[in-house]
Amino acid sequence: MTVLPLVDEGEAADLAAFLSRLLHYDRSAAVRLQAVGTALAVFGRPPAFEVLTIRAVRLAKPYEDGLDATLDVTVSAGELLESVQETAATCAVPGAVTGPPWAGVLPPRGNWRPEPGLPPLPALRALVTAGVAEFRSRTAELAPERRTRAELDRIGRDIWSRTVAGTALPVRAVHAAQSLGFLRGEHGLGLVSSGAWLRLRTPYGSVAVRRAGTGALGISVA
């Protein structure tokens, strides 16, 4: 089993926290790992948000496994979490699993360009707070016979598919970033795009979505 050395205990703790949050939304979650040099990208897709989440992890030394200088494998998020050793600042790569459809459609690695119009962090947090309050208010007003899963999902789609003012970014991407612990500081916050993809980037992780009308394998903003 390949063991990856992380830069420090804090990096291990942040990775464990990210995996724990993914598992909160999907106990059988899978993640795709890609490592090149001293960078490890961990991709996940919490089903509640219909977005792709990316956690960048710093390795203490360049990845290598025999003659292989890159790692690209889909594994169980739960098994990966169990392998994280915070005091030793390591994690072991579990055995590969059959990847879900989203794992085959990842954002490009390069050619990202800045997108204008992203509001500051307090405004983004306020958007999420307002969305949660509206969802609770609208669902509370439903008659008991109308409080079905289909109706709750319809209200949720209506709220979270709205875009952040001045951008094409759906509010669900901001909601996901907040729920996964990415919105912890305004420094380094930005919106970038590459082809059909939009990416809300923070120092603690990123959330990526495809632009409306370009959905693939269920990852969409509509």
- pLDDT recorded at residue 185: 76
Q: How many CB atoms lie within 10 A of CB 150?
A: 7
pTM reported for the whole predicted model: 0.90
| Residue/partner pairs of 197-200 with CB below 8 Å, 24 or more apart | 197/107, 197/108, 198/115, 198/167, 198/168, 198/169, 198/173, 199/54, 199/107, 199/112, 200/118, 200/169, 200/173, 200/174
Q: Where in the chain is the domain with CATH 3.10.150?
A: 3-100
Asked if residue 9 lies in contact with residue 87, where contact means CB atoms within 8 angstroms, the answer is yes
Q: Which of 57, 45, 97, 39 is closest to 73 using CA atoms?
A: 97
- pLDDT recorded at residue 219: 37
- pLDDT recorded at residue 54: 97
- pLDDT recorded at residue 186: 74
Pairing of strands 113-114, 90-92: unpaired
- pLDDT recorded at residue 221: 26
Q: How many CB atoms lie within 10 A of CB 215?
A: 16
At 179 the three-state DSSP class reads: helix
Tell me how far apart the alpha carbons of residues 174 and 79 are, in angstroms, rounded to a whole number.
28
Asked if residue 4 lies in contact with residue 92, where contact means CB atoms within 8 angstroms, the answer is yes
Predicted confidence pLDDT, tens digits, the chain (222 residues): 899 999 999 999 999 999 999 999 999 999 999 999 999 999 999 998 999 999 999 999 999 988 789 999 999 999 999 999 999 999 999 999 998 999 999 999 889 999 999 999 999 999 999 999 999 999 999 999 999 999 999 999 999 999 999 999 999 999 999 999 999 877 889 999 999 999 999 999 999 999 876 554 433 322
Token duo for residue 171: 């509010």
For domain 3-100, give the CATH number. Answer: 3.10.150
- pLDDT recorded at residue 117: 95
- pLDDT recorded at residue 1: 81
DSSP string, 190-217: EEEEETTEEEEEETTEEEEEEPTT--BT
- pLDDT recorded at residue 214: 58
